[in-house]
């Protein structure tokens, strides 16, 4: 397995272009199942998770081609299969996003339960309850969700106890061709939901309430193929802003959307990091000492749970106490043990982590445990004195498009060693 090595303590200077959003592209690629024809998707990142969902679509009967590095054409004329196998789903739980579109298109879907992952149990009960409200019959057998609907899905009112991101996305893709009106209450409001709504509207769907927690879908008889551009990846953007905060320097991020990170901007400025937002760019400068701050992860527009591990690495470089509450997932502190190997002083108490910033870290051999934890270790390695060696970096490849190349280009001494 490949390793990433970092000679830390170097500040970063220059410009980095942000890639398309992983969590924008996944539901939009799944949405191409909704109707026959060829869909065009721009600004698609090159990631392992994108390759996985394309592989899944091919098993269902779709074909695809990359027109250029970041443009995909997907043809879904012949969607004949309706099963998403355990082999594929266990590598990426977002495969559950084919449930809604398959039920809409074929009236049938058989998707493996995703199983847990490093950060939590990750149930999909909200997805199943919502689809049942729309008329699907769902059985759980042999680890699979077996869903079928006779006479087509029918509109209804769905309420989410917790604003589930992929739950909202699945309900939208199930409701667009349903008979009648569907209201989704306490819907997730992440920008990736709006990106999917723009795709579905381009296909002819009728959806009101974009960017709010109350979505109203008028079912239509049919849809047509569409073109869409994936929004910039706000989590990659946030990860790089935090990286410059930890390493120090002056970097401009381009092809990004500053408006998608309201909470992080507040927090980084309170940390003493200078941020200058343009229309589609952000200049980040850190030259002085860092101030400790407290974090509570919340659904959008609150502080993203997907940036919690990264901001924790930054807090180890302050000289004060920071309290981090992880309110979304029950086990998202796997990076703590690895940061401790680098000299961090962090105490975990349930969903709360207390970071006693020592203003320094020492390079060490560490192991990535999940996607965002691996980004946290890269950030720690950039700030640490000496050499850091990160193993199991296949986690990083799931969600970051050439992070090593992007950081090298702004002066980081970071490289990748192929596995023995």
Catalytically active residues are 117
What x/- string results for residues 300 through 319 when contact with ligand EPZ is judged by CB under 6 A? -----xx-------------
Give the phi and the psi of residue 263 in degrees, each rounded to 5.
-70, -40
Q: At closest approach, how far in Å is the CB of 168 from ligand EPZ?
A: 8
Are 1 and 392 in contact by the 8 Å Cβ rule? The answer is yes
Are 218 and 206 in contact by the 8 Å Cβ rule? The answer is yes
Q: CA–CA separation, 128 vs 173, rounded Å?
A: 13
What one-character-per-residue DSSP string does 182-198 give?
A: EEEES----HHHHHHHH
- Pick from 235, 281, 244, 241: nearest CA to 411: 244
Q: Does 123 bind ligand EPZ (CB under 6 A)?
A: yes
What x/- string results for residues 220 through 259 when contact with ligand EPZ is judged by CB under 6 A? ----------------------------------------
Among 20, 191, 232, 399, binds ligand EPZ (CB under 6 A): 399
Peptide bond into 301 cis (omega under 30): yes
Q: At closest approach, how far in Å is the CB of 26 from ligand EPZ?
A: 5
Six-digit token string for 75: 């043809």
Q: At closest approach, how far in Å is the CB of 129 from ligand EPZ?
A: 8
Q: Specify the pairing of strand 38-42 against strand 227-229.
A: parallel
Among 105, 234, 372, 406, binds ligand EPZ (CB under 6 A): 372
Q: Does 144 bind ligand EPZ (CB under 6 A)?
A: no
Among 8, 20, 167, 258, binds ligand EPZ (CB under 6 A): 167
Q: Does 166 bind ligand EPZ (CB under 6 A)?
A: yes
Q: Does 267 bind ligand EPZ (CB under 6 A)?
A: no
What x/- string results for residues 379 through 398 when contact with ligand EPZ is judged by CB under 6 A? --------------------
Q: Which residues lie closer than 8 Å to 184 by C-beta, 6 or more apart?
A: 130, 158, 160, 168, 171, 172, 175, 214, 215, 216, 217
Give the phi and the psi of residue 310 in degrees, each rounded to 5.
-70, -45
Residues that bind ligand EPZ (CB under 6 A): 22-23, 26, 94, 120, 122-127, 162, 164-167, 188, 305-306, 328-329, 371-372, 399
């Amino acid at each position: 397995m490949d390793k990433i090595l970092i000679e830390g303590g170097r500040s970063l200077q220059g410009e980095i272009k942000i890639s398309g959003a992983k969590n924008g592209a996944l539901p939009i690629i799944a949405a191409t199942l909704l109707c026959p024809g060829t869909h065009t998707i721009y600004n698609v990142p090159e990631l392992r998770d994108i390759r996985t969902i394309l592989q899944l679509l091919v098993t269902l009967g779709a074909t695809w081609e990359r027109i250029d590095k970041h443009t995909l054409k997907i043809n879904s004329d012949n969607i004949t299969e309706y099963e998403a196998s355990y082999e594929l789903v266990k590598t990426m739980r977002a495969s559950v996003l084919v449930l809604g579109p398959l039920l809409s298109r074929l009236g049938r879907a058989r998707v493996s339960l995703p199983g847990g992952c490093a950060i939590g149990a990750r149930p999909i009960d909200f997805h199943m309850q919502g689809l049942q409200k729309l008329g699907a019959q769902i059985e759980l057998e042999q680890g699979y969700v077996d869903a079928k609907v006779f006479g087509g899905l029918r509109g209804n009112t769905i309420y989410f106890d917790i604003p589930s991101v992929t739950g909202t996305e699945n309900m939208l893709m199930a409701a667009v061709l349903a008979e009648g009106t569907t209201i989704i209450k306490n819907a997730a409001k992440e920008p990736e939901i709006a990106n999917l709504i723009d795709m579905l509207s381009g296909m002819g769907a009728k959806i009101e309430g974009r960017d709010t927690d109350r979505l109203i879908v008028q079912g239509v008889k049919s849809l047509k193929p569409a073109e869409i551009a994936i929004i910039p990846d706000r989590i990659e953007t946030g990860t790089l802003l935090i990286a410059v905060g930890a390493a120090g320097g002056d970097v401009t991020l381009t092809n990004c959307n500053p408006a998608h990170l309201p909470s992080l901007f507040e927090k980084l400025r309170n940390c003493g990091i200078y941020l200058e937002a343009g229309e589609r760019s952000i200049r980040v400068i850190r030259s002085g000492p860092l101030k400790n701050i407290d974090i509570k992860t919340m659904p959008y527009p609150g502080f993203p749970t997907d940036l919690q591990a990264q901001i924790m690495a930054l807090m180890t470089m302050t000289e004060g106490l920071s309290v981090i509450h992880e309110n979304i997932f029950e086990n998202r502190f796997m990076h703590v043990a690895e940061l401790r190997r680098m000299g961090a002083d962090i105490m975990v108490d349930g969903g709360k982590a207390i970071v006693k910033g020592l203003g320094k870290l020492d390079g060490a051999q560490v192991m990535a445990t999940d996607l965002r934890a691996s980004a946290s270790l890269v950030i720690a390695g950039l700030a640490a004195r000496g050499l850091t060696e990160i193993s199991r970096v296949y986690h990083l490849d799931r969600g970051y498009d050439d992070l090593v190349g992007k950081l090298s280009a702004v002066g980081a001494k970071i490289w990748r060693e192929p596995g023995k």
